[in-house]
């Protein structure tokens, strides 16, 4: 048990621009309309089914109720953010990394781990 990381805790979110971007990305992901031009380092382009991969975790989740920042850090020159996105019927973990040019380097949706683990 001592090797298990403590669950992340909410921290103040003062970056309203990033929070707005995450909210927009979640809405676009749910609709299957993510813009491939917004993503950096996409090998072989952005296949049409790539956007659809984000639809499944959001299907049936309902409306977004809250976005809770759990982590904000810099890794190299990327800005990394970890959020819990609480919807009407589900809570998803959102990991986002933004490159210096403003493009998305990482956008991952996953179920929130049991016990809120990282």
Per-residue pLDDT of the chain (118 residues; tens, 9 = 90+): 677 777 788 999 999 999 999 999 999 999 888 888 888 876 555 656 666 777 888 888 999 999 999 999 999 999 999 999 999 999 999 999 999 999 998 898 988 876 555 5
Q: Residues for the chain: how many in total?
A: 118
| Residues forming beta bridges with residue 87, ordered by sequence position | 64
Residue in 35, 97, 26 with CA at minimum distance from that of residue 65: 26
CA dihedral in degrees (31, 35, 41, 43; nearest 10)? Answer: 70
Write down the pTM of the prediction. Answer: 0.84
């Amino acid at each position: 048990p001592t090797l298990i990381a403590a669950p992340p805790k909410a921290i103040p979110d003062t970056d309203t621009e990033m929070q707005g971007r995450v909210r927009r990305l979640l809405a676009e992901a749910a609709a299957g309309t993510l813009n491939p031009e917004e993503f950096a380092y996409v090998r072989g382009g952005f296949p049409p089914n790539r956007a659809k991969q984000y639809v499944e975790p959001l299907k049936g989740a309902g409306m977004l109720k809250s976005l809770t920042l759990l982590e904000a850090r810099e890794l190299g020159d990327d800005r990394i953010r970890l959020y819990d996105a609480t919807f009407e019927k589900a809570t998803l973990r959102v990991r986002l990394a933004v490159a210096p040019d403003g493009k998305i380097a990482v956008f991952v949706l996953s179920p929130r781990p049991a016990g809120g683990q990282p």
